[in-house]
Structure 1
Amino acid sequence: MSRLMEGERAPHFSARSFQGDVINLDNYRGKYVLLSFYRYASCPFCNLRVHESIQKYESFRANGIEMIAVFQSPDEKLAEYVGKQSLNYPIIGDPGLGIYERYGVETSWLGLLKAFLFRPHQILKSVFLRGFFPGSIENEIQRLPADFLINPHGKIEIAYYGKDIGDHIAYDTIENELRNDIIES
């Protein structure tokens, strides 16, 4: 599938989180959803972003934004790596890549290289300050992240496709979009 565009209906999915809950996108109607796609469960960049999003979650939820994360790893790897953190939102393992395909999430060898050249500070922070050491790799090592802000009507407000393996949408961008939507309402 190709990239999704802002204004399109978010593709439906229903999946079980590694925490054991059934996550059905339709059940989030009436709320904003930040749907984030990551690489594999032991990815240092990914675990740093999850760590940061755990800290943002309560503030986002208070402002009407729910969060869902998708990894290309099986549940047992999510439990082993990402599950070590104090998670407060659902994380779905999608080793068959079905949800990734619906959302047009891409891979790029150049994006893998760019992260190592232009994000050494994130590598140092994730590995040496936070202790997120790389481990097993499931699926494509060159998977790029992607983030989608889905509005209460199920349409994509923001479609953000990462340019390298550590590139996610800025939290300020999400907060500004939400403020703009509230002002326009």
Structure 2
Amino acid sequence: MKLRFVFLAVVATLALTLGADEPSTMPAAGAAAPVFTLPSQDGNAVALDAYRGKWVVLYFYPRDFTSGCTLEAHNFQRDLDKYTRKNAVILGVSVDPVDSHKGFCTKEGLNFKLLADTEHTVTTKYGSLMNHDGTIFAARNTFLIDPHGVIRKVYTKVSPAGHSDEILSDLATLQAAK
């Protein structure tokens, strides 16, 4: 009798879970990239739509000045000319304020845009907002967006060390397929 009850409880739970229509908050490859406008490290507004006609590497990262985020940013900076030759721009997004981004770019010699999502709207639209024991930050996710504004590749739980190389390889493959 007890085993039968457990079995029915498991079946009911699976039915409810599998039948649930909870949409993912993270846009998938093939979806239109959610549009936005955010301030960059220089205080100027940056709109995703302004980059139509270019590939966009939209990467979300937890915090300025942390080891993993610094490594990831350095690798993007190292490869910036390669991205430029591939008609691609890099946009980094975190929940840090403009002043933090400005200091991070200055200290680390970063020459691409870091966007301040202090109200968490864009980070939420892209399913990348995290809350760990009351600390709000962006998860390390990246979206490769094509020149028409369509997400072509989604990278989750990114490892900062080889991430730029991985994106460059995928970008070359996607561009060759066109």
TM-score, reference length from structure 1 = 0.74
**1:171 — aligned with what?**
164
In structure 1, how many angstroms separate the alpha carbons of the residues matched to 2:77 and 2:165?
Answer: 15
* % same residue: 25
- Give the aligned residue type for 2:136: E
For the pair 1:140 / 2:136, whether they are aligned, the reply is yes
For the pair 1:181 / 2:177, whether they are aligned, the reply is no
Consecutive aligned runs of 4 or more in structure 1 exceeding 4 Å deviation? 166-169
**1:75 — aligned with what?**
98
TM-aligned CA deviation for residue 167 of structure 1: 5.0
Task: In structure 1, list runs of 5 or more residues that go unmatched.
Answer: 110-137
Tell me the C-alpha RMSD between the 2 structures: 2.3
Task: In structure 2, list runs of 5 or more residues that go unmatched.
Answer: 1-23
Contact kept? 1:162, 1:168, Cα under 8 Å? no
TM-aligned CA deviation for residue 42 of structure 1: 2.5
Q: 1:81 to 1:28 in 2, by over 3 A?
A: closer
Q: 1:167 to 1:52 in 2, by over 3 A?
A: closer
In structure 2, how many angstroms separate the alpha carbons of the residues matched to 1:80 and 1:65?
Answer: 24
TM-score, reference length from structure 2 = 0.77
Q: 1:96 to 1:168 in 2, by over 3 A?
A: farther
Q: 1:139 to 1:177 in 2, by over 3 A?
A: same
Q: Secondary structure at the residue paired with 1:81?
A: helix
In structure 1, how many angstroms separate the alpha carbons of the residues matched to 2:47 and 2:70?
Answer: 24
Is 2-11 or 36-45 further displaced after alignment?
A: 36-45
Q: Secondary structure at the residue paired with 1:68?
A: strand
Q: How many residues align?
A: 154
In structure 1, how many angstroms separate the alpha carbons of the residues matched to 2:152 and 2:96?
Answer: 27
Contact kept? 2:72, 2:164, Cα under 8 Å? no
Q: Secondary structure at the residue paired with 1:66?
A: strand
Structure with larger Rg: 2
Specify which of 41, 53, 58 is matched with residue 18 of structure 1: 41
Q: 1:183 to 1:41 in 2, by over 3 A?
A: closer
Is 96-105 or 169-178 further displaced after alignment?
A: 169-178
Contact kept? 2:36, 2:48, Cα under 8 Å? yes
Contact kept? 1:42, 1:82, Cα under 8 Å? no
**1:124 — aligned with what?**
none
For the pair 1:48 / 2:71, whether they are aligned, the reply is yes
TM-aligned CA deviation for residue 178 of structure 1: 2.3
Specify which of 68, 80, 101 is matched with residue 57 of structure 1: 80
In structure 2, how many angstroms separate the alpha carbons of the residues matched to 1:168 and 1:100?
Answer: 22
Contact kept? 1:15, 1:22, Cα under 8 Å? yes
